[in-house]
Structure 1
Amino acid sequence: MRTLLITGPGGSGRTTTAAATALAAARSGARTLLLGTDRTDTLGPVLGDRDVPGLTVRRTDPDAGFRADLTALQDRAGGAMDLLGASRLVPEETSPPPGAEELAVLRALRDAARDEESYDLLVVDLPATPRAVSLLALPDELRRALRRLLPSERQAARALRPVLGRLAGVPMPAEWIYETAARLDLQLAAVEALLADHGTAVRLVAEPGPAGADALRTAALGVALRGLRLDAVIANRVLPENDAGSWLAGPVAQQRKALEEWREKYDVHPVAHLGRDPRGADDLAVLAVPAVPAAPTATGAPEWPVTDRLAEDGVLVWHLPLPGARRDALDLVRRGDELVVTAEPFRRVVPLPSALRRCTVDGAALREGELRVRFRPDPGLWPRTR
């Protein structure tokens, strides 16, 4: 199953593009699953009431997911709650907390990964960037938090827990906590695998113009920092060419200039402005967006390669592609065996390759949209050559 993640600035037409893409794919014969992540169901008005053969539409439901999780948690922790005299919450009377929508999206992506044999293409209508990039970072961040809270070495000592509890005189974590953590880790790993798959790509939607250009640059930077593949840029609501005397001449010239600049950096697909909000399958078919993401060009290639320059300069160079990054909004911090990279509103904690863990950071430079971090071998850790 191929996966296409669609995002872009707010109001750029992401949902319309996602619906048009899924519709075109289904009509071309691909078994297509369209996942909507907006709780207000903006997909419904866009798609209309007509059923399309080969197209399945799902929508996330954060309320139902939260209530199911709350019920399961209270059932598992019932004994401890009774011991403490705590009253149980009524799920139907409890509002989902902040973050419930993001967790509902991750749950939907996990379910889609389970059903990968049933579909040829998954199209996901993500929120606006940078929220979408933060959402895509959640599986990695939550798994890291789980490993810190419940390290594997603690889980390996399950048999000793009752003995340790009696000796230390303090209650040890219940078995179900570790089981729940292990189950959650597997679910998050499934989402991570879906995002890391070479068949997964991001499609950015933006209106050509000054504001859209800046938003597009920021969105492309966030996508690159997450190590995701950018499939294409949909230049949405492109105005028709008019003569110089038309009142549209100014906006058309701005769009033309933006498109020329975008084509130098991205694979751009212009989509005409219909003069109204698209509604229904007939309008979506007119948009003529590319249905299927382009095939990856470098399967198996390292995401962020390391260049060996030990013989010339005595360093190893780690290449991090960050197109559109600005020096004054870029920050690096070495933390143990990890590198914390901050680029404008985005942040990622990246494990160092094994060779670089035995080195010290010797400097960094941003050149041609690529961050190059130099590492010098630590004499105390690097094997000596004879």
Structure 2
Amino acid sequence: MTRILLVSGSGGVGKTTVAATTGLAASRRGLRTLVLSFDSTRDLSASFGLEVPVLPGASGLPVRLNDHLHLQELDVPSELQRRWSEGRGEVAALLGGGLEDVTAEEVALTPGLDALLALLVLGDYLRARTYEFIIIDGPGTGDALRFVGGADAVSWYARRSRAPEQSARRARPSRTNPDVLHGASDKLMDVGALLRDPTVTTLRLVTTHDSRAEQATRRACTAFSLQGIALDGIVLNRLVPAGTDEVLERHPAVENLQRLVGPIPVTGIALQAGEVVGEGTLEAFSTLLYRGEDPSRLMVIHSAHGIGKDAVDVYRLEVKLPFVSKEEVTLSRREAELVIQVGAFRRNLLLPRMVAPLATVGASMDGDKLVVEFKKERV
């Protein structure tokens, strides 16, 4: 099974450096590794010291850096053109149908298309088992959340497209074959399931030491956990040591953040003297970051979501929601969906088949976990 690591954080905190370092360190261990970015800034190529104009000329295809390492900066127009020429039906269906007569160039302007194409590309690699380790160099936290939630959004649309009343409401009928939409949706749901499997996919957040970054880290922990993504580590980057002999694990900022996140390991990295660009400096950075350990390892194994049976006909759903109080959570049911709203963050959670027919009978916060109970109604 391919191991997936999502690297995310606010802009400018060094997440691309962490992703590039992780990829290089994994390749040194002989793992077939891909670092995949769908950020338009081309920072990933710059981290390896490559000339930025080289990659657009390669149309966003993987670039070989050594025998075990490829990097790929997704080029949305090129990737869309390839898929459009191979058969536009799947992409058109995923974008809502009715696109049979438009060009790829027009569709390229669709908001969120980069995340959708990244999911499709990731799915291709997972099915082909091309790589043993895939690192997603995510864009900013908001776009990364749209990426991990993309499969859910497509599934939501596909489920509603089955309803006859939805078809009747369309002002302009689409020639999209519903089987194409449902087949493409199923593929993305398989990818979404792997992204939410804590034995396959984990998140490493990158942040810095300032009040705004700390607040952003708290929000990211909550939002990714709501989406079912397991956090296995935080990199606290660009620390300024108080003294030349200070051990960064005892840096006050590291200790404070460690207290906040509990069992999630926090790694402090000192502010570097120069830019971390090129394989030499990335190698040195990997020594600080991983200290000879396997970068693909699961630093901590835990599930963001879990469901179990409490008693006969009683089920208990647990959703890890760090830094959230009971008053901030709003719940509602829509048939087989549980809608969880936490501030600006929302998740339409499709309930398992054994739970979907049951009534929601209670909800509470148990520490940092939202607990929702379901029970079969007695007739």
> For the superposition of Structure 1 and Structure 2, which TM-score range results when normalised by the shorter chain?
0.7 to 0.9
Deviations 1:55-74 (A, max 9, x none): 11112111123334555449
Structure 1 residues 119-128 or 371-380, which shifts more?
371-380
- In 1, Cα distance between the equivalents of 2:231 and 2:17? 19
1:66-77 pair list within 5 angstroms:
66-68=80-82, 72-73=87-88
Deviations 1:82-104 (A, max 9, x none): xxxx9965545775222221222
Q: 1:308 aligns with which of 307, 310, 319?
A: 310
* Paired residues of 1:309 and 1:317 also in contact (CA < 8 A): no
- In 1, Cα distance between the equivalents of 2:274 and 2:260? 25
Q: 1:294 aligns with which of 278, 292, 298?
A: 298
Cα drift, residue 346 of structure 1: 2.0
2:359 corresponds to which residue? Answer: 360
* Paired residues of 1:130 and 1:222 also in contact (CA < 8 A): no
Q: 2:114 aligns with which of 97, 101, 104?
A: 101
1:126-141 pair list within 5 angstroms:
126-141=138-153
1:164 corresponds to which residue? Answer: none
1:258 corresponds to which residue? Answer: 256
Deviations 1:303-322 (A, max 9, x none): 42235257xxx965432221
Is 1:336 aligned to residue 349 of structure 2? Answer: no
Q: For structure 2, which runs of at least 5 residues remain unmatched after alignment? A: 51-63, 93-98, 167-171, 245-249
Cα drift, residue 265 of structure 1: 4.4
In structure 2, the residue corresponding to 1:130 is in which secondary structure? helix
- In 2, Cα distance between the equivalents of 1:64 and 1:279? 27
- In 1, Cα distance between the equivalents of 2:182 and 2:355? 30
- In 2, Cα distance between the equivalents of 1:263 and 1:363? 27
Q: 1:56 aligns with which of 60, 70, 79?
A: 70
* Paired residues of 1:113 and 1:190 also in contact (CA < 8 A): no
1:77-88 pair list within 5 angstroms:
none
* Equivalent position amino acid for 1:187 in 2: K
2:60 corresponds to which residue? Answer: none
Q: For structure 1, which runs of at least 5 residues remain unmatched after alignment? A: 78-85, 155-170, 244-251, 381-386
Is 1:187 aligned to residue 187 of structure 2? Answer: yes
2:266 corresponds to which residue? Answer: 268
Structure number with the higher helix fraction is: 1
* Equivalent position amino acid for 2:122 in 1: L
- In 1, Cα distance between the equivalents of 2:26 and 2:159? 39
* Paired residues of 2:23 and 2:34 also in contact (CA < 8 A): yes
Task: Evaluate the alpha carbon distance shift between residue 272 and residue 172 of structure 1 in structure 2; reply closer, same or farther with a 3 A threshold.
Answer: closer
1:113-124 pair list within 5 angstroms:
113-116=126-129, 118-124=130-136
- In 2, Cα distance between the equivalents of 1:206 and 1:353? 35
- In 2, Cα distance between the equivalents of 1:88 and 1:37? 27
Task: Evaluate the alpha carbon distance shift between residue 308 and residue 259 of structure 1 in structure 2; reply closer, same or farther with a 3 A threshold.
Answer: closer
Cα drift, residue 297 of structure 1: 4.1
* Paired residues of 2:258 and 2:264 also in contact (CA < 8 A): no
* Paired residues of 2:304 and 2:320 also in contact (CA < 8 A): no
* Paired residues of 1:199 and 1:296 also in contact (CA < 8 A): no
- In 2, Cα distance between the equivalents of 1:110 and 1:215? 29
- In 1, Cα distance between the equivalents of 2:114 and 2:333? 32
Kindly tell me the number of residue pairs found equivalent between the two proteins. Answer: 343
Cα drift, residue 234 of structure 1: 1.1
Cα drift, residue 253 of structure 1: 6.9
* Paired residues of 1:66 and 1:96 also in contact (CA < 8 A): no
Structure 1 residues 134-143 or 260-269, which shifts more?
260-269
- In 2, Cα distance between the equivalents of 1:87 and 1:20? 42
2:247 corresponds to which residue? Answer: none
Cα drift, residue 204 of structure 1: 0.9
1:26 corresponds to which residue? Answer: 27
User: Among the aligned pairs, what percent are the same residue?
Assistant: 27
TM normalised by structure 2 equals: 0.78
CA-atom RMSD, angstroms?
A: 3.6
Task: Evaluate the alpha carbon distance shift between residue 183 and residue 371 of structure 1 in structure 2; reply closer, same or farther with a 3 A threshold.
Answer: closer
Cα drift, residue 34 of structure 1: 0.8
Q: Say which one has the larger Rg.
A: 1
1:351 corresponds to which residue? Answer: 350
1:11 corresponds to which residue? Answer: 12
TM normalised by structure 1 equals: 0.77
Cα drift, residue 119 of structure 1: 2.0
